[in-house]
Structure 1
Amino acid sequence: MSTGVVVLVLSLLLGAQPIATDLYLPALPALTQGFGASMHQAQLTLTALLLAFGLSQLVWGPLSDRFGRRPILLWGMGAFALASVGSVFSASMEQLVLWRAVQGAAMGAGVMCARAIVRDLYAPTEGARMMSKGLSGLGVLACISAPLGGLLSDWLGWRAALGALAVFGAATLALLAWRFEETLPVERRQPLHLGEMAVTWSRILRHPTFWTFALLATASYGGLFTFLATSSFVFINALGLSKTHYGLLMFSMSFVYILGTIVCRRLIPRLGVRRTVAVAAGFTLTGGTLVGVFGWLGWHHTWAIMLPYYLFILAHGVHQPCGQSGAVSPFPQSAGTASALSGFLMMVVAFTMGQWLGARMPAGTEGATVLPLTNGLWFWSVVIAAIAWTLVQRYGELRQPPQRAQTSATP
């Protein structure tokens, strides 16, 4: 495959996650009211998707290391499209939560394989730059998703927003069937023996570089998820924005994220991964602290949140490529399993955060507040900076594994 095709495939596979979340967020308050549901039930449509997404990767990872990336991708994206159709025709909140869980499990195949494909094809440092290109494509999809979701919800209702996910899934499946070529050679595939799998998992979980970058990606995603899970209720219910205006805010956020991925690609060759992450953490901590302090001072308006959050999301565009590629970099023979474990950790944290937020955010306008959002972002900014300035500086050097380890599994 050409580099352009690889970047397009990575963008679509990684972009399935913001498509599945950002596109329906503007419709979430209307969806909640339409079913007469509570805030906790509304959050389940997001957290059930993410929990299933995280758990499924523990299955998809070893399967992809055994059978290759292509069959897992075809099955996964086919199931994603079908689950999206099911969610459109849900007759109750319970049915919608079920279909969203199926959707999340299917989405796990695509996102997990995307990280593994980068490790299949590229050395660690180049892999971080390629991951940033794929995540730039994710940012473009995220830019489109929220405004499109707002327009569809305003014009045609919330079911139309969910229907757009089915169109995306079918288009991605068609591209994979047409252009995607297998990236994992037969000689590098791993058996599905429990003993071998236990050894592989143990080797990954004992590796400090895996934990360093998996924790960086997890903490950075924790901050993003805090914003995603609360922002529609904060900006629409608490601050009175329309769905379309909210979608435009999400567009601006995604645009800044794209700039962050471009900054990542520019800085890595000049500073290296460790210093790039350290510089980005300064922006993270500054933005998160300002959001938290403004919320604590009672400055509850749109730009008191968004302007400092732009600093946070700019740095997110650096932390995610470095974190996601760094977590799998030491494991060329088991990139799928390493990707799965990293993804599972991210989604467990997101699910836990979603449960916490669901208990503190009202579903309607009465009692609506910005504090769960602002306090959550402040918390995650401190965690990210701590990881970036300690663990990444100690264990974060990305190096190609010794040639002997490579040649033992290649002709």
Structure 2
Amino acid sequence: MPASSSPVTAAPPAHAMQPGLVVLILSLLLGIQPVTTDLYLPALPALTDGFKAPMAQAQLTLSALLLAFGVSQLLWGPLSDRFGRRPILLLGLAAYTLAAAGSALAASMELLIAWRTVQGAAMGAAVMGARAVVRDLYAPETGARVMSKGLSGLGLMACISPPLGGLVSDLLGWRAALLLLALFGATALTVVALRFQETVQRRNPDALRPGTLVRTWAGIVRHPTFLAYTLLATASYSVLFTFLAASSFIFIKVLGMGKTAYGFAMFSSAFAYLAGTFLCRRLLPRFGVRRSVAIAGAISLTGGSLIGGFALAGWHSVATILVPFWLVMLAHGVHQPCSQSGAVGPFPQAAGAASALNGFSMMLAAFGVGGWLGTRFDGTVFPLTNGIWFFSVLIAAVAWTLVQKFGEPGHAQR
């Protein structure tokens, strides 16, 4: 790649941090995403009613955040290849904390959307940085196992966030739930400032030059391994986002669930995801990345088809959606570490740019799903169930075809 032929600047050794510290930092950086989305979801209907805003506008507090999250990574990635991971992480986490406080104090839905957009852009530095750090420190298959440990931390935070958000929203109001995000951001910022050591051993001073950037991006998006794993990551995240964006309205307003109960329903799905990350670490040594992904694809398809089939049969309840969705989330815990590590694996000298493009693809799809859902709510469960079913079929198709053909994670571009 062009990045590998450029002059470089030395950085501190990449092995200075202990493995346990690396996993803790990865958990905080990756966990910032579910904390930002899941913790406020139980408060979303109350927030919408409080501002007397239409549902489509309320969806922008989530979809605009995720679009900014995806687009910002296209800048954060090359910046981190040029200047290193540490300064970008510190800048992003500081901006995130400030934007989270602004969201909690917003006086209108328009201001809330604006602050959430800034928050999403800042969040991009943290998540992109985490993926790039894994590639800095580990070879692809080992990176998938380490990523699964970091995503176990993410899963734990995803378990805690919805019930905590529901409880705080019920007791103290939706603003208090959003204020908790500022506290999380300040905590992550403190840990990174005090304990994180630079992982980029060779910085690329040409990473931000337009010609180099275009050539780097072109090389990445043409690579079949990147495309296979990015499509898998995008389909897998889309099924999760469909649930995140629609379930609070479907469960609370259509099926009559309470906010605190909804928080615990979200806890159960996050726990299934957490179990999936442990399953991933059991599958990888025995079957390798591609066969593990194929097994998880079958689980995704089973769960999604049960949800869609129950809805078509007229069985509309929380249980007929949530219980099969646990299977989808179990598989999600395998797909995400394998796809995120696999997509970045071929690009050791441009891990930031590859991570950014992978993240951008997921968030662009999420923005499209959010926009579609915002216009499809009709007082039934079908926008949720049909969306999950569609993406579960897509996951299986990618896992059984493109990943099997092109998904050799150890193939690095020279």
Give TM-score, length-normalised by structure 2.
Answer: 0.95
Q: Show the 5 A alignment for 1:14-93.
A: 14-93=30-109
Q: Are 1:4 and 2:15 matched, yes or no? A: no
Aligned to 2:367: 351
**Is contact 2:89-2:129 (8 Å) kept?**
yes
**Is contact 1:189-1:333 (8 Å) kept?**
no
Identical columns (%): 65
SS at match of 2:144: helix
Aligned to 1:375: 386
Aligned to 1:401: 412
The range that moved more, 83-92 or 393-402, is 393-402
Where structure 1 has 5 or more consecutive residues not aligned to the other structure, the ranges are 362-366, 406-411
**Is contact 1:115-1:325 (8 Å) kept?**
yes
Distance 1:178 1:303 in 2: 45
SS at match of 1:183: coil
Structure 1 position 189, deviation (Å)? 5.8
Q: Show the 5 A alignment for 1:12-411.
A: 12-186=28-202, 190-361=206-377, 368-399=379-410, 401=412, 405=414
Structure 1 position 278, deviation (Å)? 0.3
**Is contact 1:27-1:161 (8 Å) kept?**
yes
**Is contact 1:43-1:229 (8 Å) kept?**
yes
Distance 2:347 2:206 in 1: 12
**Is contact 1:54-1:344 (8 Å) kept?**
yes
Equivalent residue pairs, number: 398
Structure 1 position 368, deviation (Å)? 2.3
Distance 1:369 1:146 in 2: 23
Q: Deviations over 1:75-108 (max 9, x none)?
A: 0000000000000110000000000000000000
Give TM-score, length-normalised by structure 1.
Answer: 0.95
Q: Deviations over 1:272-291 (max 9, x none)?
A: 10100000100100000010
Distance 2:174 2:223 in 1: 44
* Counterpart residue type for residue 212 of structure 1: A
Structure 1 position 192, deviation (Å)? 2.0
Distance 1:394 1:162 in 2: 44
SS at match of 1:394: helix
Distance 1:275 1:189 in 2: 39
Q: Deviations over 1:1-43 (max 9, x none)?
A: 1111100111111111100100000000000000000010010
Aligned to 1:364: none
Distance 1:312 1:6 in 2: 28
* Counterpart residue type for residue 349 of structure 1: A
SS at match of 1:300: coil
Distance 1:286 1:187 in 2: 45
* Counterpart residue type for residue 32 of structure 1: T
Structure 1 position 191, deviation (Å)? 3.3
SS at match of 1:97: helix
* Counterpart residue type for residue 172 of structure 1: A
Distance 1:295 1:210 in 2: 35
Distance 1:384 1:279 in 2: 11
Structure 1 position 257, deviation (Å)? 0.5
Structure 1 position 48, deviation (Å)? 0.5
**Is contact 2:279-2:334 (8 Å) kept?**
yes
SS at match of 2:380: coil
Structure 1 position 400, deviation (Å)? 5.6
Distance 1:214 1:264 in 2: 18
* Counterpart residue type for residue 117 of structure 1: V
**Is contact 1:48-1:100 (8 Å) kept?**
yes
**Is contact 1:295-1:370 (8 Å) kept?**
yes
Q: Deviations over 1:318-344 (max 9, x none)?
A: 000011111000000000000000100
Aligned to 1:408: none
Structure 1 position 401, deviation (Å)? 3.4
* Counterpart residue type for residue 65 of structure 1: D
Q: Deviations over 1:157-208 (max 9, x none)?
A: 0000000000000010000000000000245665322111111111101100
Distance 1:116 1:385 in 2: 27
Distance 2:210 2:114 in 1: 30
* Counterpart residue type for residue 78 of structure 1: A
Distance 1:384 1:140 in 2: 24
Q: Deviations over 1:334-363 (max 9, x none)?
A: 0000000010010110000000000012xx
**Is contact 1:233-1:368 (8 Å) kept?**
no
The RMSD of aligned alpha carbons is: 1.0
* Counterpart residue type for residue 385 of structure 1: A
**Is contact 2:81-2:203 (8 Å) kept?**
no
* Structure 1 runs (4+) greater than 4 angstroms displaced: 187-190
